[in-house]
Amino acid sequence: SASAASGGFTIVTSERAVKAVTGFSRFEFQLPSQAEIEFDVAEEAEFDESIVGESNLREFLLSRAKVLASKGILSKEFQEQLEQHLLHVQNKRMLTRCQTPSGLTEANLQEMTRDTSGMLPQNFVSLVQKLFSARSVIIEVQRKIVQTRARETKVYENQARLRQNIQSMEKVRDCGTLLTRYLEDLNKDEDDLQKARVMIEADEEDVAKMNAEKTQMELQVETLAKKLYDEMESGTSAS
């Protein structure tokens, strides 16, 4: 609503007006006795409202802007300008986050891939996607290492049990067959341990290599994000 601080309302109906001053108009009608008439008087008010912040602007565009546009109060051109400004702010925020790529989340990636404004070049978005893919592969290999170590621990526990059984049979007669089986199981466990050690060593080497590649990609994302941010700040379009 328009308060006095905003200038109040202005009567815009001039038909039948015989006197008009600021905030007041007098209308004249000549009516027969006992007659009634309805007459609409239009008032309007102009006032300024500041919309500060990305979330407030987004909320305005998603709700009140549509109502104002449907009533012809908000022009389509100005609405599009506001939408472009919101995209500009969103992308600047995203580029700021990308300057610290190690802190990027899946939610950030989803927001970035939803952008259809063209403000963020596809090669930049693809680079960030590649970084997240590298992260996923590293996590998967690390999970594999944890699983292999868990199996390794179980083998050690089984070996300890077998050794105890073998020691307990030293004073037992006629246990050759059972002892042979225990020894075979012990040898099999040693083979499994050797395979596990080889797998862990290979996977750890892969993780080290992939981490180095990931660090290089993070540097590329950071450098390009800074470049795009500076171009956006200066008003130039990124190639």
**Each residue's pLDDT tens digit, 39-69:** 888 887 776 778 888 888 888 888 888 888 8
Encoded tokens for 230? 């500076």
The dihedral of CA 62, 63, 69, 75: what is its sign? Answer: negative
Query: Position 82: which residue type?
Result: L
Find out whether 151 and 199 touch, Cβ atoms under 8 Å: no
The model's pTM: 0.64
Q: What is the pLDDT of residues 86-127, one digit of tens each?
A: 888 888 999 999 999 999 999 999 888 876 666 788 899 999
Give the pLDDT confidence score for residue 128 in this predicted structure: 95
- The domain ranges of the chain are 1-48, 118-237
- Rounded Cα distance between 207 and 119, Å, is 34
Q: Whole-angstrom Cα distance, residue 152 to residue 156? A: 6
Positive or negative CA dihedral for 166, 169, 173, 175? negative
